């Protein structure tokens, strides 16, 4: 994925946006990593704690590339709200779409196996639309995004346990050529 190189110019604007998703308002750019705390293992971003935790840093481009590498957004049970640890990721994708008008994404909504299949089709759609709205808030245009809900029909993990369920409650961001 090299497309992020094209968007170095508006990176300052992006950082301002991304940090809005963090918990402290006007801190310095590197604290935007706070926004993905908890999603750490999947994004590869390490986080620095606040007071007394020392300072860590990384180049902004690298930060952004890491955010864009995250293509799966996870949700809580029966919820479609984007969790705080994913707001920076979704904003990064929205920004990328905003600055690359020819880019297109398909948002695939999924649920865990619990509950009825058709209700889960609805819940998956609700999740996909939730990500769609967040992408548009970050500047993506409606014509760049399509959605589809697979409900519980295409699980990422096949077990019937909490961990499988967690991995299955998701929206996958699929870039289309």
Q: Which is nearer to other proteins, 61 or 153 (CB)?
A: 153
What is the size of the binding site for other proteins (CB under 8 A)?
Answer: 30
The residue from 72, 119, 156, 175 that contacts other proteins (CB under 8 A) is 119
Rounded CA separation 63/22 (Å): 14
Confirm if 73 and 90 have CB atoms less than 8 A apart. yes
Other C-beta atoms closer than 10 Å to the C-beta of 2 total 6
Q: Any contact of residue 166 with other proteins (CB under 8 A)?
A: no
The residue from 150, 166, 167, 175 that contacts other proteins (CB under 8 A) is 150
Q: Any contact of residue 170 with other proteins (CB under 8 A)?
A: no
Q: Any contact of residue 161 with other proteins (CB under 8 A)?
A: no
**Stretch of residues binding other proteins (CB under 8 A), selected from 40-48, 52-60, 64-72, 144-152:** 144-152
Rounded CA separation 25/18 (Å): 10
Confirm if 129 and 36 have CB atoms less than 8 A apart. no
Q: Any contact of residue 169 with other proteins (CB under 8 A)?
A: no
Rounded CA separation 106/146 (Å): 5
Rounded CA separation 127/23 (Å): 23
Closest CA to 134 of 79, 100, 95: 95
Q: Any contact of residue 106 with other proteins (CB under 8 A)?
A: yes
Q: Any contact of residue 24 with other proteins (CB under 8 A)?
A: no
Q: Which is nearer to other proteins, 64 or 132 (CB)?
A: 132
Structural tokens at position 147: 């959605």
Q: Any contact of residue 163 with other proteins (CB under 8 A)?
A: no
Residues that bind other proteins (CB under 8 A): 78, 80, 106, 113-119, 121-123, 125-130, 132, 146-151, 153-154, 158, 160
């Amino acid at each position: 994925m090299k497309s992020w190189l094209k968007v170095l110019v508006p990176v300052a604007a992006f950082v301002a946006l991304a940090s809005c998703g963090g918990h402290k308002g006007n801190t310095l750019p590197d604290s935007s990593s706070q926004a993905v705390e908890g999603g750490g293992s999947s994004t590869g971003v390490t986080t620095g704690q606040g007071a007394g935790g020392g300072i860590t840093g990384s180049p902004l481009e690298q930060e952004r590339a890491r955010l864009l590498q995250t293509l799966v957004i996870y949700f809580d049970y029966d919820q479609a709200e984007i969790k705080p640890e994913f707001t920076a990721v979704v904003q990064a994708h929205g920004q990328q779409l905003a600055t690359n008008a020819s880019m297109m994404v398909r948002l695939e909504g999924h649920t865990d196996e619990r509950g009825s299949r058709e209700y889960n089709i609805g819940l998956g759609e609700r999740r996909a639309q939730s990500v769609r709205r967040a992408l548009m808030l970050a500047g993506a245009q409606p014509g760049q995004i399509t959605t589809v809900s697979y409900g519980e029909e295409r699980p990422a993990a096949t077990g019937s346990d909490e961990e499988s369920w967690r991995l299955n409650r998701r929206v996958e961001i699929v870039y289309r050529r």
